[in-house]
Structure 1
Amino acid sequence: MTAGGNTRTRRSPKWWLVATNAVTVLVTLCYAVLLWNTGTEGEFFVGLFGLLALLGLGVVWIIITIIGLLAYRTFLASLITPLIVLTGMGLAWAEIPQKLAWWASRDALGRAASTCDEHGDSGRIGVYTITRVQRTPDGCLFYTDGGFLNRVGFAHLPGGAPATPPAVMQYTSLGGPWYRFMEPWD
């Protein structure tokens, strides 16, 4: 609207800025939880609920952004959220959380593997929640929560993975005597 040569713009109302910032903060928190859960072999349902929360926040973000664009001709504050989403997706795609968790936990797992004290109680080794430790003829298995229906974890196999692993066990090398293993659900 112009009056006497001055241009007046509608300012974004406080509620819109608060809502936009709240969505941005909640999306950031969801991604932090999801990336931690992914990196630490966390529980499947934590990841599922995190993704559902992100989906709901995405719908709220779209609505707030459309309102800001149509009613107040502003959207710049809304651009922060997609940048956070793209950054989180990039970190997950590059497996940065998994690499950082492994880097932070490798020494603690190595100390635990040197004794391989079998137990069925959950406990932390490094950043991982280990649900079970099992001695095998080839080394030591550390089970984690991360496999939904499959049993997964880390294997310390000083002699290398068995040339003919049991039909149900699959190994992926992490370097040195360390492997990721998966026992598919029957």
Structure 2
Amino acid sequence: MTVHTGAPRWWRATTGIAVPCLVAAACGVMLWSSAAPVVDFVYFMLAGWALVLLGIAWLVLVVIGWFRYRTVRRTLLAPAVVAPAFVLVTAALVVVQAPFRLGFLVSKPALADAAADCTYSLEHRRIGVYSVRSTREFDGGCLFFTQGGLIDSVGIAYLPEGVPHLGAPRHDGDIGYDHIGGDWYRFVERF
């Protein structure tokens, strides 16, 4: 077996450009799917699986580089550590719910305007960063049904008179609420 003194261009391009760019794209999808009131499960899981496969590919390429091309020092420096850094930052942001909080902060003025004139509607529209599938008046407030969730309906509620209960839905047809702040709540309607 011949030991090469320098890593070939394909290896440098793959570990330094292709893998980090694909990881950044998968992390972007994960952050975007986490901006919904309830994580958009399908996109989140697809991005998660993409990150697992990219992680395996990155690890294989690093080991090849270490043993075949003697690139230990090169793989410990940027850009080879960029991909794992993207994943760690994304995980931290998702855990502290930063995408949702930022999305809600940006969307709150538009949601408040829409809540002031809340009527039943099946019109699909964008309010702030949210794709709202329908709206409905509820207990003196407004429910905005958004994308997200897996089976149950989810969204954001403006309820100035409060909610019947906080927590998960208790039975089919019930709505569970999670307080965001002020008169605003996230909700899950169980079917």
SS in 1 for 2:34: helix
Q: Which amino acid aligns with 2:8?
A: P
TM-score normalized by the length of structure 1: 0.87
- Structure showing greater radius of gyration is 1
The structure 2 residue matched to 1:180, chosen from 163, 169, 186, is 186
Aligned match of 1:50: 47
Q: What are the within-5 Å matches in structure 2 for residues 32-51 of structure 1?
A: 32-41=28-37, 43-51=40-48
1:160 corresponding residue in structure 2: 162
Q: Are the counterparts in 2 of residues 138 and 162 from structure 1 also a CA contact under 8 Å?
A: no
Contact persistence 2:165–2:176 (CA under 8 A): no
Answer whether contact 2:36 2:147 (CA < 8 A) is retained: no
- Runs (4+) of structure 1 exceeding 6 A deviation are none
Instruction: Output the CA distance in 2 between the equivalents of 1:128 and 1:102.
Output: 9
1:128 matched to 2:149 = no
Counterpart residue identity of residue 154, structure 2: V
Q: 2:165, 2:177 within 8 Å by CA — same for their partners in 1?
A: no
Q: Is the 8 A contact 2:157 2:187 kept in 1?
A: yes
CA contact (8 A) 1:169 1:183 kept: yes
Counterpart for residue 84 of structure 1: 86
2:63 matched residue in structure 1: 66
After superposition, the C-alpha distances for 1:42-83 in whole angstroms (9 at most, x for unaligned) are: 643222221221122112111111111111121224222111
Aligned residue for 1:22? 18
2:140 maps to which of 125, 138, 141: 138
Q: Which amino acid aligns with 2:67?
A: L
Q: Structure 2: which 5+ residue stretches go unaligned?
A: none
Q: Which runs of 5+ in 1 are unaligned?
A: 1-8
Q: How large is the Cα RMSD of the aligned pairs? A: 2.0
Closer, same or farther: CA 166–70 of 1 in aligned 2, 3 Å: closer
| 1:163 CA drift (Å) | 5.6
Length, aligned pairs only: 177
1:118 maps to a residue whose letter is Y
Q: Higher mean Cα deviation, 171-180 or 100-109? A: 171-180
Q: Distance in 2 between matches of 1:163 and 1:67?
A: 56
Native 8 Å contact 2:154 2:187 kept in 1? yes
Counterpart Cα distance in 2 of 1:92 and 1:163? 26
1:10 is aligned to 2:8: no
